[in-house]
Amino acid sequence: MKMHQHSRRGAAKKATTTVTLLFSRKFVFKSGDNDDDDDVYESFSLDDPLRNVLDDDLSSGNFFIGHHEKNGRGLYASRDVTKNESIFKKKKKKKKKNDNNNNKAGGGTEGRQKPITSHPTIWNYDLECYLCLGELSKKTKNNNNNNNEEVSSDGRFCSVECERDARASFYETEQTMDLRRMEKYCEENELKFPLMALRIATRSVQRSFRLDANANAKASVQFMVTQSMRKKLIKEMNISEEEVNQMTPEEAARRIRENEEEEEEEEEARTNKKEEGAMSIDRKTMKKYANVAELLVHAHVDEHQMFPSWKEEHALLLQTLESCEKVRDSEEEKAKIRSVFDIRWYADLTTRFHLNSFKVEYPVSASSSSSQGDFRAMMEQTLTSSIRTGASNGSAIYAYGSMFNHSCAPNVNVTWPERNHLVEFVANENIKQGEQLTIAYIDLNEDWSLNVAKRRAQLEEAYGFVCECPRCVSETQN
């Protein structure tokens, strides 16, 4: 069964000669004072506002998202880009007060992109960080701190920062789950996408836990100056807009707090299970984070056409989620999980992984081999790692990275300069304004890639299209 790409998202907003501006908005991180926000490893977050893109805003970067009637959605150069220039590095401009460009969607150091999610290859758990896919040093794996350096207390992370971010995002919940059947199944069948789906689902579950009424009251006060408070008062609590306009922030926070306390009391009475300080799943929040990858292109597969293995993987995913300590004894909480992470969610997410995932690849460094600078040891370890992982350190999906179209003669290279899941897209030639930015979906270093028929067959099998890039057209004519 072939999977064919779903129609591209977005409406035409602005026309050029051959390319239409697809989105009149872009993703940005909210600016805040909390540097420890656990969204640090996302390209964009559904928590954060979407703001309109002005014409001069587009010109401050190297690209815009456009739609071509033949090529579909893609990235195009908004100005001339020089060879070796980072595509997502914005032009330098005067900073406004409290402005932090690194907090913007797909941001990161020097134009490097943070993934929506990533996961190490299962055979390399003992070699790579469980969060960022960076190399684990010997002192980290052995929890050795002879030089008084701050290292992760958990041998699965390359740094205390990664351990902290993972715990805040998904790891606290994952540690209470039984992953053994899922990991064994993926290892035996050489699968990676079920574990990526599980990470998104686990993060969604962790983010959805609601604290008791007192904790909810504190959370309400934190965002009392935002529009979400007005929305709750007017639309959810049916208070008139006139009355809300006359409220002080303190009074509004009190009214919301009282409403939340009433809701908690009603829920406790219904279930008759809650104890003071207990937590339950907020389904709306869980569903929001479960769909964090929904803007990526996917293939729609009817349920009767789904692979039997997908249903088997989905059943294992549900079993793993329901083994969570806070869920396992509550049929009500399990029902919430089943309703959000249904087979339709899993199938759509799996096709998104197939069409948009990147193999994170970088060679093992000499410093991690048996002796410093031992090139032979480094190459042996790299070869061993490649055999164990299928030449991959892990897999990741990226918001902007997924919008590149393919070419067998790409003008953009994909690299992982920090030897972790932060990706950088770099021009490998001078690119003219308005020209499409392309990457290669297949390995062009393989001998078989010299044959146009084999390249096209590989692309059609994996991605459902016949390549009509200039190189393929030229080689076919010749």
pLDDT digits (tens, 9 = 90+) for 97-156: 444 444 333 344 568 889 999 999 998 899 999 999 999 976 555 555 555 556 667 889
Among the residue ranges 181-190, 267-276, 422-431, the one predicted with the least confidence is: 267-276
Q: How much is the average pLDDT of 453-476?
A: 94
CB-count burial class (<10 Å; 0-12, 13-18, 19+) for 372: exposed
The proportion of the chain whose per-residue pLDDT surpasses 70, expressed as a percent, equals 67
Query: Would you say residue 93 has pLDDT above 60?
Result: no
Q: Which of 57, 54, 67, 171 is nearest to 119 (CA)?
A: 171
Query: Which tokens hold the place of 59?
Result: 């010109």
CA–CA distance, 463 with 354 (Å, rounded to integer): 8
Question: Measured between alpha carbons, how far is 472 from 474 in angstroms, rounded to an integer?
Answer: 5
What pLDDT does 223 receive? 34
DSSP 8-state code for residue 123: G
Mean per-residue pLDDT over the chain, rounded: 76
203, 425, 438, 452, 476 from 470: Cα distances, Å: 42, 21, 12, 11, 10
Q: In what order do the strands lie in the sheet with 72-77?
A: 14-15, 20-21, 63-68, 72-77, 436-439, 405-406
Report d(CA 201, CA 199) in Å as an integer: 5
Q: Are 422 and 116 in contact (CB under 8 A)?
A: no
What element of type H or E holds 245? helix 241-246
Going by pLDDT thresholds of 50, 70 and 90, the confidence category of residue 71 is: confident
Least reliable range by pLDDT among 86-95, 317-326, 404-413: 86-95
Beta bridge partners of 423: 113
Residue 239 predicted with pLDDT over 80: yes
What would the mean pLDDT of 361-376 be, rounded to a whole number? 53
| 171 has pLDDT over 70 | yes
Residue with tokens 């941001």: 107
CA 154 remoteness from chain centre: 23
- The neighbouring-strand residues paired with 75 are 65, 437
pLDDT(352) > 80: yes
DSSP letter, residue 31? P
Strand partners, 120: 394
Take residue 393 and report the two structure tokens written for it.
């350190």
The span from the CA of 53 to the CA of 167, in Å, is 34
